[in-house]
Structure 1
Amino acid sequence: MSQKITITEPSKEDLLVLMDNFSDPQQERYEAYRRSTLNKSVIKKLISSILNQSVSSELAFVVAGFGKVFIGEIVEKAREVQEQWGDEGALSPEHLREAYRRYQKDTGLIPATIYRKRRFN
């Protein structure tokens, strides 16, 4: 007998409680994250060039969403690196490179591929 699992969306009240507990820098980063987007036409072109075929707008939308989440994770890791190194101010390329390296080491999710463009280095 299988059980039915229901996943519910977080309520607006839960989100407000969370946001009320953000520090000022966290609040600013969250607001910047919510406002930011990746250009869907550029993403669509990139996917098309990698796959050598046309792709739907829906696929570009999904890939852009995953890209935004990935960028967010790298930035958060870079903030951790910056804090561990005792640096202050804006993130530097060194923080981003180290965050990328740690992400790759921790997850193993970024394998070497034939398609290589310049990353952070």
Structure 2
Amino acid sequence: MTTAAGTPLNLTNLFRLSDGVAASSTAAYPRAAGLGGGDDEGEGDDEILPAMADDDYSAQLSWQSQSKDNLKVLMENFSPDQYDRFEAYRRHALPKQAVRKVIQQVTGQQASQPVAQIVAGFAKVFVGEIVEKARQVQARRGETGPLSPDHLREAYRMYQQETGNVGAARPVRAKKLFVK
């Protein structure tokens, strides 16, 4: 199945299509003049956050509208099973406190809440891709039912072949994922 633009329907493309606000690199910020303590009306020096130009703002709105339309088309083409999985995907999130602990263990430094939220988002996309590949493995083998650890191991192996090793640094402990 593909979108109207011809891109294949997978979790990564779905995330890009559905998350228009989070995926954008610019956002509209209100003018915050006069926060410097004085009554400097009209001076741009006291602006903390610059305002977005009108054409940039309209392009942003247009892009967000297009993203919503793409998501609507995508969701209309879902099978009931795909729709249930997508709803479960949208409902669930990794606990931010647990993500902050993992970041601290790996880096040895405290992570701020926004950093933990970003890492949790990337982790959610990674887990989604692994589950999607595991479903492909399951279908290729002609099996049904819940995913088994063997499906997940094979999906992770395929992911590594496609993208190279996950992570640039060597693990602290020689611990493998999805070990029997």
Residues 8-59 of structure 1: CA distance to partner in whole angstroms, max 9, x if unpaired? Answer: 2344333222101101111011000000100000000110111111111111
Aligned-pair CA distance for 1:99: 0.1
The residue matched to 2:162 in structure 1 has which SS? Answer: helix
Task: Name the structure 1 match of 2:129.
Answer: 73
How many residue pairs align between the two structures? 117
Indicate the structure with greater helix content: 1
Q: Distance in 1 between matches of 2:77 and 2:171?
A: 44
Task: Name the structure 1 match of 2:29.
Answer: none
Percent identity (aligned):
51
Q: Distance in 1 between matches of 2:136 and 2:160?
A: 15
> Which of 157, 172, 176 matches 1:115?
172
The residue matched to 1:27 in structure 2 has which SS? Answer: helix
Task: Name the structure 2 match of 1:42.
Answer: 98
TM-score w.r.t. structure 1 length?
0.87
Q: Distance in 1 between matches of 2:101 and 2:152?
A: 25
Q: Distance in 2 between matches of 1:80 and 1:94?
A: 13
- Shift in CA distance, 89/113, structure 1 to aligned 2, threshold 3 Å: same
Larger radius of gyration: 2
Please tell me whether residue 30 in structure 1 is matched to residue 86 in structure 2. Answer: yes
Please tell me whether residue 100 in structure 1 is matched to residue 156 in structure 2. Answer: yes
Q: Distance in 2 between matches of 1:13 and 1:61?
A: 26
> Which of 41, 60, 64 matches 2:120?
64
RMSD: 1.9
Aligned-pair CA distance for 1:118: 4.8
Question: After the TM superposition, which parts of structure 1 deviate over 6 Å for at least 4 consecutive aligned residues?
Answer: none
Q: Distance in 2 between matches of 1:34 and 1:92?
A: 23
Q: Distance in 2 between matches of 1:30 and 1:119?
A: 25
Unaligned runs of 5+ in 2: 1-55
The residue matched to 1:91 in structure 2 has which SS? Answer: coil
TM-score w.r.t. structure 2 length?
0.60
Unaligned runs of 5+ in 1: none
The residue matched to 2:144 in structure 1 has which SS? Answer: coil
The residue matched to 1:18 in structure 2 has which SS? Answer: helix
